[in-house]
Chains A and B, each alone.
Chain A
């Protein structure tokens, strides 16, 4: 392909990627701008509200210029809960995947706990951790935990047997085989688990912040709903969407660097 053709293809792709949101915005605008419809605010109103939420200077009310505080609170819980989930799920998954006794001990219980949706844990979390950020943190942890655990177990268990033989005949001892073979071979799966886990952490954060916390994107969404400030609800949703997208892109870029060797990632 010539440079020109490459550039044409790239701009075509960019155009298509932008087309759907533009059409969506247009449809949103057309259906909500007419007189007599007040349930959902039109996009322009949401944009103004988002600006006020982020920088102030429009309404100058209780919510003006608070977006950064709320976003930071949510980011802290998402990454904190996610990091804790990774810290527990990674070693646990490796042990379950590699040691039969641990697998027989934990796997049946985990299989029963797993189908319980995170939202079902909400009341229990509130009883145990009280009303506040600790419940939110716990729910984020739980949401991120299972995808990381399951993908780690899968990755560790599905290392090709041939690679163990290759390592053994090259002189790798029993202890070193984990670091030299199992860990690198299961990195793609582990990575998929981390990416899914971080995605779930963002999904769960709104639920987690419904538990009466003062700050956080989920908290203002719920609060604004009660006050019928639907522009704020949508502004919060858009912010979560953008932050979730950016954090997924970051993880993806990291993966492309670390997993250059893998045909599925490189």
Chain B
């Protein structure tokens, strides 16, 4: 650190929560090098809900995993509150598509896991867990084990787990991709409610255009070969958004045009 970082001219005086600057990601595949992400630049302000969409191979999950700290940056800079991200940490909570719950812990123990790992007293962690179990509507299942839960319930636990751990940024990798349509819709609503209440910043990876328009303040469109950002669209529609509305459909057409033209 210590280097003076250039500040884009368009930026205000407020420090963005996440500042991704000209980030590349290359993987070595034997003798070959594959560029998964090329020159990605993205600023996310505190409280923003950003969706990353694009076909597979566009680098959206790679970008998310770099923000999470699971992957290193090959070139460029990835800053949170101005400081380089150097590994996974509780300030950036990740919600996986396959949940990643600890099967040997109950719902409340899964939620208390983070606070206890960070050295909070047991009683305090238990109280926190109770609060978040209630928040995601799983009080009746507080002592159930993950294998006894439905997919939607597991994903609620996964969300509660990162919130209970004071995550400022919530990273979601196609979190509702494995759920049925009804459950997905309900979880989208609940997520928006939690996001508004907890003043979270969310990066949400999806390949469903409609899901992105329902949720996001901004939809970042990516394209493959090599993965890169091709558009960053602000969604100004008031919430809750009506997927059958005219403006909604205009946006849908616009975004699918962007995606289609780069195939």
Task: Give the interface of A toward B (CB within 8 A).
Answer: 162-163, 165-172, 176, 180-181, 184-185, 187, 260-263, 266
Contacts and interface: CB of A to CB of B under 8 A. Distances in A.
Most buried by B among A165, A166, A172, A260: A166
A263 B88 contact: no
Interface string B132-149: 000000000000011100
A165 B117 CA distance: 14
Most buried by A among B89, B102, B146, B147: B102
Given A165-B94, A166-B96, A261-B147, 8 more contacts: A165-B100, A169-B68, A169-B69, A169-B89, A170-B114, A171-B118, A185-B103, A261-B145
If over half of A's interface residues share one DSSP class (helix, strand or loop), that class is named, otherwise mixed; here it is helix
Contact of A260 (B87, B89, B118, B145): B145
Contact of B100 (A166, A172, A184, A187): A166
A232 to B, nearest CB: 47
Contact of A185 (B94, B104, B161): B104
A261 B104 contact: yes
Nearest to A165: B70
Sort chain B's interface into a size bin.
20 to 34
A262 B105 CA distance: 10
A163 B102 contact: yes
Interface string B84-122: 000111101110101011111110000001100110000
B117 A176 contact: yes
Contacts of B113: 167, 170, 180
Given A162-B98, A180-B117, A261-B145, A169 B104 contact: no
B118 A187 contact: no
B61 interface: no
Nearest to B106: A261
